[in-house]
Amino acid sequence: MRVIAGDVKGRRLKTPKDDRVRPTEDRIKENIFNLLFGPFYGTTVLDLFAGTGHMGIEFLSRGADFCWFCDNHPDSLRLIHDNLSLTGYMNKSEIVNGSFEKCLNLAKERDVQFDYVYIDPPYDQKAYYDKAVTIIAQKKLLSTGGRIIMEAPDRYEFSEYEHLTLLRKKTYGKKNIWIYESCD
């Protein structure tokens, strides 16, 4: 797994030794960023269920100002820390050790709004998508024009969400990418 573009383009990132975490394939990651267009300068990002931190690091490499990485597994937290150290982005990030609910509550307490939120929960946790999006909307954690990117198995379907407009849905093999934009 590598960083595809930006300041640390080509940098190899550490990956897990088991299949508990399944990082987004480089091909899909590149297509996600092609769909988002950018630029990402001046943005704040949330990599929810961060795993290795590779998606948030890709945003940082492409110019994002700051990224929150949220995970609750000790191995993932170590990988995120190691990958941020490898790329030199520790000072542009916050690692939140806890559930996604804890992370979103902390963001609200600190009055943080995100321009991009990437959601890709662990295997077969469909309810996490809806719950995360609902909390983000209720707590107004998405900036005006902010986007939520969800990577999900192709068998999952999502309904419309209040305060969000579906911009794109793309299929890559057995994965779907859903991109929603805040309409508040």
Nearest to 165 by CA among 144, 146, 183, 150: 183
Nearest to 60 by CA among 72, 82, 44: 44
Tell me how many domains the chain contains: 1
Which residues span the domain enclosing 114?
A: 2-182
- Is-above-0.85 flag for pTM? yes
CATH of the domain at 167: 3.40.50.150
Q: What's the pLDDT at 37?
A: 84
Token pair recorded at residue 184: 């508040």
> What does pLDDT average to over the chain?
92
What are the tens digits of pLDDT across the range 9-42? 999 999 877 665 566 677 888 888 988 988 899 9
